Structure 1
């Protein structure tokens, strides 16, 4: 018995480690990730407080729905045009410094907006200028904060960190939307912008105290390329030279040479244009063919939020997601979308919406993990910059395209056609990948070196 006891203890320890590795909350074992999650919760709540009242404020200032749409386009435009340059900045500068400065800058813009609103000084040109400045800062802030979160955990725990971030985003959205109404009633519209500015300041204050993991101890990390000098030790002039040498074009070239990333972009873009515009497509379906009211769409929106949170918990179990998983999830989501388009009642639609949101959350987590771990560390900022440009593009194309399709074919037909297109593309991609995987790779015959011949003869 004494000889068997150590073996049982080793098996039990191995089982405990395996269960720990499947824990969706395992990234919270890192103290810095706990602080980062709290900071993100505060930031997301502040952001949604501002977003809840922002469009109404813009509409009040401009008096035009078209100008409201223009302000949104002005804010999104830099992501489309300058994403590559923002990613290059993230690769050239220290991650913590870049994230802290960008968060502080976004906070300053929000506080300035709050002051202008409070003193009734906000006009259309100033509004568009603030929107453009916010968009430019976001091209750096997005990839910097995303990669900083991943730098707080080991590679195998990155899916858990991303899933945790998704759950925090959903909770922050619910909290921010609720707090916005209270703040506006008690303190006025400017309070939402001020709260968002303070939330950015809180994140910027937390960042310097975060501890990055030691990649030398990360069992799944790729060895870093040799670097003559760490970024943190460079002088201002050396950093400028490094930024000049960190070409945005290199990021685009690298992205296009990686079949995994190209395939990920293709399936994600197709899903974004024809599948994920649920705030538009489901709203038209609920108020149109299903003949329900705005309150019923609120129920559908709640079901989407619940499914997203559950999906984030499921996605946290992932350890090594792949593009195949993204394609499979996209195909399943597309079939659920087809079923939603054919749903005869609101009750059935609500039941379908929950797994639709779950699948979307799992797919997003898997895709984001591939995107942020597949490239080498020194290229990740630029790869995320490419992705930001692409995602901004299909984010701008998707709603008008689906709106036009619904105008021409109706809400049900648009959902069905979009789902069939996505499912067909996903199935074709998986089939092609499967055939390539089964095709044996021919190894060319190579004549042995003389030393090898003598060794074998001996």
Structure 2
């Protein structure tokens, strides 16, 4: 097979044995996690009888990502990566087993539940970037988009399997069994990690962690004017400073943030559109959800074909998704909406794959954990702000108005940012020439 054709295959990352094992482990872990999530909200309702308590438990688990992601990313940069991922997976497994034991003995109350949720969130601030970067270490840099795309497919497959197994497990074995099964899935991942090996061309950092080889830093600041040389210390502040001084990462954050707040919350906007103006029911929205899932799978395959995605590509895809969202807001019927939902999901997933690849490969190897930590704090803020903001817009403008206005904001903001960047890059530059210098200053030996 010609090298170019092979490099474009969405499955090219799976030719590495360690990546195949990592994909299997991630499938098992995702299935266990979604098995637990399937019953977790019901468990909170059974204990408290309060929907507000259910929402509070979710917020308590998300809060550490908002407050501690920077510290978690710094830990990933400082400690050996495989060891860090194995320990964090084992800790998450221990929390799941402890929850299972408390449920089985009837000793789980609201206070203990909140403590366990907070502990899970704290460990996840380290586990998330550690596992993401560990997966990238298993393939060469050009195959990272394939690894991320395969990971997205594994996540979707694990979600479907876990949701199905959750109902069966609870029906036959009880709620505690779902938590115990999730604990076993974490231990399976922890057991696989010691046998993973980085791909050829991967270097080992000072802390013993595997890092993909990156080009040497430029000899002068003029070779890379947007990035200041960075030392090898492991401070949290260094990661934040690097992120804020890297224009493409700031632009990526802006694009993703606008898309996350004004779009992509389709479980909210499309649910209201289908059950309201389009006069559908729960079954109709179930069909929309299925089409979104199919589009996500197709988008993951297409995203895995990318080689070196850019922030410009992410912006173009996000703007396209915004325009599709505008058209969806004017859907005259349920059938027309279904036709639009598929490309919306595809564009969103390809954009996510491209953005994740840029985020995980752009920083130097020794800073990637902290950059992901910064991203974790930012993305958590978007996740918390998006649904309330869209809910307010829907209260004022309805579901159609929210889709149309949100899509216009996304496409308009990205378009305006692109035009501004183009103007800055094409601004005329006055070059000093020898002739100009000679006429601008008096000749030597003459009076000034």
Residue 277 (str. 1) matches residue 269 (str. 2): no
Q: Report the CA distance between 1:213 and its aligned residue.
A: 2.0
Cα-to-partner distance string for 1:263-321 (whole Å, 9 max, x where unaligned): 00011011001101111111111111111111111110000000000000001110000
Instruction: Give the alignment partner of residue 73 of structure 1, picking from 40, 59, 63.
Output: 59
Aligned pair in 2 of structure 1 residues 442, 325: CA closer, same or farther (>3 Å)? farther
In structure 2, the residue matched to 1:222 is: 214
Q: Does 1:402 align with 2:402?
A: no
SS in structure 2 of the partner of residue 254 of structure 1: helix
SS in 1 for 2:167: helix
Task: Describe the superposition over 1:133-183 as per-residue Cα deviations: whole angstroms up to 9, x where unpaired.
Answer: 000000000000000000000000000000000011011111111111111
Q: Partners of 1:197 and 1:373 in 2: how far apart?
A: 31
Q: TM-score, normalised by structure 1?
A: 0.87
- Tell me the distance in 1 between the aligned counterparts of 2:169 and 2:177: 6
CA distance in structure 1 between the aligned counterparts of 2:37 and 2:332, rounded to whole angstroms = 34
Give the aligned partner of residue 94 of structure 2: 108
1:260 and 2:252 correspond: no
Q: Does 1:434 align with 2:422?
A: yes
SS of the residue 1:290 aligns to: coil
Deviation string for 1:321-380 (max 9, x for gaps)?
000011001000001111111111111111111111100100000000000000000000
Contact 2:137 2:202 in 1 (8 A): no
Tell me the distance in 1 between the aligned counterparts of 2:395 and 2:119.
35
**2:177 corresponding residue in structure 1:** 191
Give the C-alpha shift of residue 439 in structure 1.
4.7
- Establish whether residue 246 from structure 1 lines up as the match of residue 234 from structure 2: yes
Check the 8 A contact 1:327/1:429 in 2, yes or no: no
Whole-Å separation in 2 of the counterparts to 1:299 and 1:342: 19
**1:430 positional shift:** 2.4
Root-mean-square deviation (CA, aligned residues, Å) is: 1.8
2:287 to 282, 299, 314: 299
Pick aligned residue for 1:146 from 111, 132, 142: 132
Partner residue, 2:438: none
> Which range moves more in the overlay, 123-132 or 64-73?
64-73
In structure 2, relative to structure 1, the CA distance for the partners of 1:102 and 1:216 (3 Å cut) is closer
Is residue 6 of structure 2 the alignment partner of residue 41 of structure 1? no
For structure 2, which runs of at least 5 residues remain unmatched after alignment? 204-211, 218-231, 435-448
- What is the deviation of 1:434? 3.4
- Write the distance in 1 (CA, Å) between the matches of 2:135 and 2:13: 10
Q: What is the aligned counterpart of 1:337 among 303, 325, 334?
A: 325
Moved beyond 6 Å, runs of 4+: 440-446
User: Conserved in 2, the CA contact under 8 Å of 1:44 and 1:172?
Assistant: yes
CA contact (8 A) 1:224 1:376 kept: no
Describe how 1:4-43 pairs up with structure 2 within 5 A.
16-43=2-29
Q: Deviations over 1:372-414 (max 9, x none)?
A: 0000000000000000000001100101111111111111101
Instruction: Tell me, yes or no, if the aligned pair for 2:16 and 2:199 is still in contact at 8 Å.
Output: no
Q: Tell me by how many angstroms 1:216 deviates.
A: 5.6
**1:428: Cα distance to partner?**
1.6
Per-residue CA shift, 1:79-128, capped at 9, x if unaligned? 00001000000000000000000011111111111111111111000000
Task: State the distance in 1 between where 2:321 and 2:154 align.
Answer: 23
Residue 379 (structure 1) aligns with: 367
Match of 1:368? Answer: 356
Residues in 1 aligned to 2:290 and 2:55: alpha-carbon distance in whole angstroms = 25
Conservation of the 8 A alpha-carbon contact between 2:140 and 2:202: no
Provide the C-alpha distance between the structure 2 equivalents of 1:70 and 1:250, rounded to a whole number of angstroms.
33
User: Structure 2 CA distance, aligned partners of 1:278 and 1:389?
Assistant: 22
Q: Which residue is equivalent to 1:391?
A: 379
| CA distance in 1 between partners of 2:136 and 2:264 (Å) | 26
Number of aligned positions between the proteins: 413
Match of 1:159 among 136, 145, 149: 145
Give yes or no for the alignment of 1:423 onto 2:432.
Answer: no
Any conservation in 2 of the 1:308–1:358 contact (CA below 8 Å)?
yes
Q: In 2, distance between residues paired with 1:157 and 1:445? A: 46
Query: Who is 1:96 aligned against?
Result: 82
- What residue is the counterpart of 1:9 in the other structure? none
1:26-84 Cα distance to aligned partner (Å, 9 max, x none): 00011000000000011111111111111111111121111111111100000000010
Residue 127 to residue 434, structure 1, CA distance change in 2 (3 Å): same
Q: 2: CA distance between counterparts of 1:396 and 1:323?
A: 24
TM-score normalized by the length of structure 2: 0.89
